[in-house]
């Protein structure tokens, strides 16, 4: 099966930018366990956002250094750790020249839509950090490793919710008797989602101008926490965000069910998105690395496995919670975001499957095991952090969880 333990990285050198984060940490271990030579680059910004806003992961995570040290003891594999900011060109160029990656996986961005909507400063920070960081990575490839394949995390949210089917990156249009295949129209729903749109345009240009090989992975909302490697030792545990700023829909609902907080459906709950299990995130990245894009091409994969509406998720979590003896309620909260609450949604996601992805499907077993996992840590839940903290219409917002 593509992306499983049987595949062998054969020493392929993979730099993982954002490797201390939720998707990046799981991916770093997945690849290291399979024989890829991994270097994590991270400026620990994500840990700092928690300190600034008074948030915390559900799970007690070890420091980046302790994680890597423990992984060395558990697996016998070395992961290189470089702490620094990819917006700092001196740092990034040294990291590139010393590690010489064959592939770079770029997770290293500010990834929360609500965070980007707190106020002007957070909007500007998000776009500066994300867009400039990506341009630096493009230049590092061009100048130091022109054969390096860039695997970049984008988002399904780049497309918004158009009233037509969503293709994988490009759409063929006939207009006034002529025909062309063009980038699919983008309609991001927050300054964060728009930062990914700007990245995609910059990468599309750089791929053509400098003959770089790029894969843009438009990922859906990720759920779950355990992967084969992160369960091997308590110091390898992954982060799990459930707060109103960084927590994502299904992960939040599972925590809410576990602690007896009503499930927070925003507005009508018809908002439909693509979702995937974190165990599929890591396999998708491996598949992308093993099957690189052509030089000069920006290939786009839609990286999700199933579509659900927010109401679907609430129903699934309620049913499984009830089976485990929990009393689960749902409330509709006035939607803090500006988004369609009832809409058409049909997004393609065949390219990763064509390359061998065999998805984990969200069923009883997965929700049950996630609920059981969360219940173990429920004493760490701070109920105050659950409420939505940022209103799109009211920006600037003084976030309830922020220090004055
Ligand atoms: P995360 O915040 O947990 O991890 C991102 C990591 O990048 C953090 O460790 C952070 O410290 C680091 N980082 C940020 N800016 C940096 C910089 N300038 N230099 C160096 N490191 C930097 O986020 P995540 O949930 O793991 O998401 C990873 C990527 O996947 C993001 O690009 C995100 O947009 C994308 N994505 C995530 C989801 C999801 O549901 N979590 C869904 C779709 C796409
Ligand atoms: N929602 C609720 N209740 C909640 C939380 C969210 O109804 O308690 C709704 C939101 O209004 C939205 C949907 O659920 O309609 C998804 O919200 P989310 O917070 O789970 O996801 P989103 O803000 O889109 O961002 C997350 C990641 C981001 C990634 C994106 C993928 O934080 O990094 O890019 O998922 S996607 O949604 O496909 O764009």
Q: What number does CATH give the domain 13-240+277-304+346-357?
A: 3.40.50.720
Active-site annotation holder among 22, 36, 115, 192: 192
Residues at CB less than 6 angstroms from ligand 2: 111-113, 155-157, 193, 220-221, 248-249, 252, 264-266, 271, 273-274, 310, 337, 339
Q: What pLDDT was estimated at residue 7?
A: 60
Residue 224: CB within 6 Å of ligand 1?
no
91 cis-preceded (ω within 30 degrees of 0): no
Active-site annotation holder among 155, 281, 305, 397: 155
Q: For 100-135, how does the pLDDT look when each residue is reduced to its tens digit (9 = 90+)?
A: 999 999 999 999 999 999 999 999 999 999 999 999
Distance from C-alpha of 194 to C-alpha of 125, rounded to nearest angstrom: 13
Q: Which residues of the chain fall below pLDDT 70?
A: 1-7, 399-404
Distance from C-alpha of 329 to C-alpha of 260, rounded to nearest angstrom: 8
Q: What pLDDT was estimated at residue 395?
A: 83
Of 263, 248, 256, nearest to 115 by C-alpha is 248
Q: What pLDDT was estimated at residue 403?
A: 41
Residue 269 CA: nearest ligand 2 atom is 7
Distance from C-alpha of 309 to C-alpha of 303, rounded to nearest angstrom: 17
Q: What pLDDT was estimated at residue 404?
A: 33
Task: With beta carbons less than 8 A apart as the criterion, state whether 57 and 240 touch.
Answer: yes
Q: What pLDDT was estimated at residue 2?
A: 61
Distance from C-alpha of 260 to C-alpha of 120, rounded to nearest angstrom: 35
Residue 230: CB within 6 Å of ligand 1?
no
CA of 114 to the centre of ligand 2 (A): 9
40: tokens are: 């994590």
Residues 6 or more apart in contact with residue 343 via CB below 8 angstroms? 161, 163, 270, 271, 272
């Amino acid at each position: 099966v593509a992306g499983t333990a049987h595949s062998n990285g054969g020493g392929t050198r993979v730099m993982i930018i954002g490797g201390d984060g939720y998707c990046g940490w799981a991916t770093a271990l997945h690849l290291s366990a399979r024989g890829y030579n991994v270097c994590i680059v991270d400026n620990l910004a994500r840990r700092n956002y928690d300190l600034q806003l008074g948030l915390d992961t559900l799970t007690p995570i070890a420091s980046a250094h302790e994680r890597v040290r423990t992984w060395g003891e558990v697996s016998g594999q070395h992961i290189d750790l470089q702490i620094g900011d990819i917006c700092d060109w001196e740092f990034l160029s040294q990291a590139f020249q010393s590690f010489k990656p064959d592939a770079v996986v770029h997770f290293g961005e500010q990834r929360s839509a609500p965070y980007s909507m707190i106020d002007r400063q957070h909007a500007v920070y998000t776009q500066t950090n994300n867009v400039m960081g990506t341009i630096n990575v493009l230049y590092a490839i061009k100048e130091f490793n022109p054969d390096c394949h860039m695997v970049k995390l984008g988002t399904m949210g780049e497309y918004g919710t158009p009233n037509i089917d969503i293709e994988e990156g490009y759409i063929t249009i006939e207009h006034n008797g002529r025909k062309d295949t063009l980038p699919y129209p983008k309609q991001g729903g927050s300054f964060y989602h728009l930062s990914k749109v700007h990245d995609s345009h910059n990468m599309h240009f750089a791929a053509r101008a400098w003959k770089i090989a790029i894969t843009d992975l438009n990922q859906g909302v990720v759920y779950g926490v355990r992967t084969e490697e992160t369960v091997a030792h308590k110091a390898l545990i992954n982060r799990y965000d459930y707060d109103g700023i960084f927590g994502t829909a299904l992960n939040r609902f599972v925590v809410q069910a576990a602690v007896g907080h009503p499930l927070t459906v925003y507005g009508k709950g018809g908002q439909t998105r693509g979702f995937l299990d974190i165990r599929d995130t890591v396999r998708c990245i491996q598949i992308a690395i093993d099957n690189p894009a052509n030089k000069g091409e920006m290939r786009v994969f839609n990286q999700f496995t199933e579509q659900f509406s927010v109401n679907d998720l609430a129903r699934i979590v309620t049913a499984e919670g009830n089976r485990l003896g929990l009393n689960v309620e749902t409330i509709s909260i006035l939607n803090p975001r500006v988004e369609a609450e009832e809409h058409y949604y049909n997004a393609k996601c065949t390219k990763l499957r064509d390359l061998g992805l065999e998805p984990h499907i969200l069923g009883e077993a997965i929700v049950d095991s996630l609920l059981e996992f969360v219940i173990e840590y429920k004493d760490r839940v701070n109920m105050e952090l659950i409420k939505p903290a940022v209103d799109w219409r009211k920006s600037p917002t003084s976030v309830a969880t922020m220090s004055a």
